[in-house]
Amino acid sequence: MKTTAQYLQQTIAQVLPLLQQISDQEASVKLLPHKWSKKEILGHLVDSASNNQQKFVRMMKQPHLNFVGYAQDFWVSEQHYNTASWQELVNFWSAYNNHIAHIIEYVNPDYLQHTITIEGKGLFTLEFIMNDYAEHLKHHLKVILPDIGLESKFENIYSA
């Protein structure tokens, strides 16, 4: 899992200066009324970090976990991310994801085959959930920063 943690840390280091260059005004723009602004996308990534931290740590404690999903649109709208300070969101996102990388780096390998179902769906291993987290993060960062090259480090995992 050290590769996943390193990939996450490298991604954060690569995009942080670029995110910091975006103005608060630019980050608030919604290109379409039903689409998220950059602030809302980053807020969603904070919510994802929060939800995944819970999954990771709870899955480490027990061999199987039934977990609740979350209504991402509700979370984003009710936390009013679009009115938040862009720089504070960027700093919080960066710190939280560095912590997520730390969790991934030091996970006990004995826990990686622990499983989870989310709202009754799937049977996913902790290893998959951790790798998928890094991919999910990259997917949304590409929307905020479309010109950045964020290539997957896990092609072999997802093409198998």
Q: What domains appear along the chain, each with residue ranges and CATH number? A: 2-24+33-146 (1.20.120.450)
pLDDT for the residue 152: 55
91-128 in b/e form (b: 16+ CB < 10 A) is ebbbebbeebbebbeebeeebbebbbebeeeeebebbb
Q: Which regions of the chain are under pLDDT 70? A: 149-160
pLDDT for the residue 160: 30
- Rounded Cα distance, 119 and 14, in Å: 34
Average pLDDT for the chain: 92
pLDDT for the residue 148: 77
pLDDT for the residue 159: 30
Residue 5 corresponds to which tokens in the numbers above? 């943690």
Residue pLDDT, tens place only, 121-149: 989 999 999 999 999 999 999 999 998 76
pTM of the model: 0.90
pLDDT for the residue 37: 98
Using alpha carbons, select from 58, 140, 53 the residue that is nearest to residue 101: 53
pLDDT for the residue 153: 54
